[in-house]
Structure 1
Amino acid sequence: MKTINKRIFTITPIIAFALTIIISTGISRSIEHRRTATADRPQTADQMPNGSYSNLINTFNASSTR
């Protein structure tokens, strides 16, 4: 009975560590896949983020022409 408990206490952290690596690798791959999918598509002006450089220039041009 003691040898079974020793094996369980030895194997459990190894399995937990391996599962952690597998899960984190899968998450990082899915994030990278989403980044490349969005980078391949050109964004229209409506889809540009609010803090983008082009939005700043467009706001400046609109306010300076008035």
Structure 2
Amino acid sequence: MRLIQKLGILNFLVLLLCVLIILVAEYLFLTGNKLHGIFLGLWAPTLLGVIIYIKLISRERR
């Protein structure tokens, strides 16, 4: 619970979504859908990069 308060609810949900994406991508990759697993696995770092970019832009405007 302390982690959620420290990160904020929205950041925690995005982090949870990224973990879920990675788990599903690993499942797809290991069950034989290698291309689908790789494609889906690339979404987690992309999502994190977009969130970091949005945070940097919002801090710059302050």
Which structure shows the higher helix fraction?
2
Structure scoring higher RCO (CA < 8 A, sep ≥ 6) equals: 2
TM-score normalised according to structure 1 size: 0.43
TM-score normalised according to structure 2 size: 0.45
Larger Rg: 1
